[in-house]
Amino acid sequence: MSRQRSLMERIRHWMSWGLHGAMTCEEFEAGLVDYLDGTLSPIDRHRINLHTRLCSHCRRYLRAYDKARRLAGDTIRYSDEQALMSVPEDLVQAILAARQEDSADTRR
């Protein structure tokens, strides 16, 4: 019973937020890129923040999306030289050793 009542309270809470300008999950997704770029108006930014607090699904989505964006950004920012410099030395040595073994095999 208390679980049911708390669900009804939550629904009422969500509806009251809806009446006061909270957004739907679809609106949240549509504004997400601008939110992360920092180009949203202060009001829309506030609405996204509110939705993030109220909706665990979108909170997880925001975290995953932000992480993926940062990883993609790192990849784009890296020049080829920087990318090569970030490859661990033991991996480079293992690749070189494997190539030498390969070419030794084909010469036999």
- Which residues bind to Zn ion, rule: CB under 5 A? 25, 55, 58
Helix, strand and coil content of the chain, in percent to the nearest 5, comes to 85, 0, 15
**Measured from the CB atom, is 26 or 105 closer to Zn ion?**
26
**Measured from the CB atom, is 15 or 25 closer to Zn ion?**
25
**Minimum gap (Å) between residue 59 Cβ and Zn ion:** 8
**Minimum gap (Å) between residue 63 Cβ and Zn ion:** 13
**Minimum gap (Å) between residue 102 Cβ and Zn ion:** 52
Q: Which token pair is 91? A: 């991996």
CA distance linking residue 77 with residue 83, whole number of Å: 9
**Measured from the CB atom, is 24 or 93 closer to Zn ion?**
24
CA distance linking residue 99 with residue 49, whole number of Å: 52
